Amino acid sequence: MRWAEITIRTTEEASDAICEMLAQAGADGIASQDPDEFRKTVDNDPLSYCEDGTIESYGQDVVIKAYFAETDEGMIRMGAKSEEFANPDGVGMIYGSITDKELPTADAMEFIKQRIAGIGEFLDIGKGFDGFRYVDDEDWANNWKKYYEEFRLSDRIVICPSWIEEGDTELEKGAVKIVLDPGSAFGTGTHETTSMCAEILDQVIKPDTSVLDLGTGSGILAIIASKLGASSVDAVDIDSLAVKVAEENSAINGCSNIECYTGELKSVKNAPYDLIVANIIADVIAEIACDIPSDLADDGLFVCSGIIAGKKDRVISALEAAGMKIVEERSKNDWMAYIAKRR
């Protein structure tokens, strides 16, 4: 076995969507290097030091590397997905259909190119696919794990990779531990949009809160809501593979009150909800804003993120047109999150 290392050069705005697509396409590992994040770290930390020319060498693109295992027969197995939910009356698919078959490497690369092009219909993807090479390292699948340790999302929420044995880390009383593998599914909490949503959930979840996690992805926000004491959680995604991942992660974390199913806002089962959280992209949030109020309880809250600063005005206008008012705004770097409620 050897590893096909795919390189994608893209924009900050499109990097999340591309990483999610790669994870759902079956990538065994994904690494993302954002030069702006490096620059901000250096600029904000007076003790940081780097040699002349180092910052410039990173360029302007977000560089994503994805790793797919190739069999001895030259085949790559793409994400296990046998069906697709697509509602022609809804906002449509972002990532397109993902196969559950093994493909020759050349066909797999073409498949990835097509999926990236599909994302380009919604977002500026920059250069996009930038080729692949082989990495001969039979132990790579486990070697990358050494770069991941537990990290804190909020005052109480801690994300812990599943390979860290119970008892290896001691958490203070009241801490909420979420078990997720950084390389196995998108949405582990390292991105600003996810961390802002997690902080908001930590602030607003109460024991009797019913929650809808719309576009659940890996299920991280649904799991956080459950762990924080929500009475019930619907974890919904238009991508059936994401739903399977969310189900597995919910089971690993012992969250029996999470119901995962394939669908979109128009097909949710248990409205109205006390809280709807949508960490997706600005364009989709703007599209669905008009339908949010009817699925919210009287005093319900809508939490949305995944919004690059350049598109915040579109989201704000859509929420206001839907009869909602923003009660809180948060930002991290160039990303925004909002808490809104009905007027």
Residue 256 near residue 235, CB atoms below 8 Å? no
What local confidence, expressed as pLDDT, does residue 295 receive?
97
Which positions of the chain have pLDDT values less than 50?
38-58, 80-99, 167-168, 183-188
Structure tokens at 45: 């930390």
CA distances from 103 to 10, 69, 112, 133 (A): 25, 12, 11, 17
**What's the per-residue H, E or C state across the chain?**
CEEEEEEEEECHHHHHHHHHHHHHCCCCEEEEECHHHHHHHHHHCCCCCCCCCHHHHCCCCEEEEEEEEECCCCEEECCCCCCCCCCCCCCCCCCCCCCCCEEEHHHHHHHHHHHHHHHCCCCCCCCEEEEEEEECCCCHHHHHHHHCCCEECCCCEEEECCCCCCCCCCCCCCCEEEECCCCCCCCCCCCHHHHHHHHHHHHHCCCCCEEEEECCCCCHHHHHHHHCCCCEEEEEECCHHHHHHHHHHHHHCCCCCEEEEECCHHHCCCCCEEEEEEECCHHHHHHHHHHCHHHEEEEEEEEEEEEEHHHHHHHHHHHHHCCEEEEEEEEECCEEEEEEEEC
What local confidence, expressed as pLDDT, does residue 174 receive?
75
Residue 327 near residue 291, CB atoms below 8 Å? no
What local confidence, expressed as pLDDT, does residue 36 receive?
63
Q: Which residues touch 81 (CB under 8 Å, ≥6 apart)?
A: 24, 97, 98, 99, 100, 239, 240, 241
Domain 2-144 indexed as CATH 1.10.3230: no
Each residue's pLDDT tens digit, 158-175? 888 777 765 445 566 778
- The domain ranges of the chain are 2-144, 187-342
Residue given tokens 């128009």 in the structure block: 266
CA distances from 212 to 184, 203, 237 (A): 23, 16, 11
Residue 87 near residue 31, CB atoms below 8 Å? no
Architecture of the domain spanning 187-342: 3-Layer(aba) Sandwich (3.40)
Distance of CA 45 to the CA centre of its chain: 28
What local confidence, expressed as pLDDT, does residue 141 receive?
56
Predicted TM-score (pTM) of this structure: 0.68
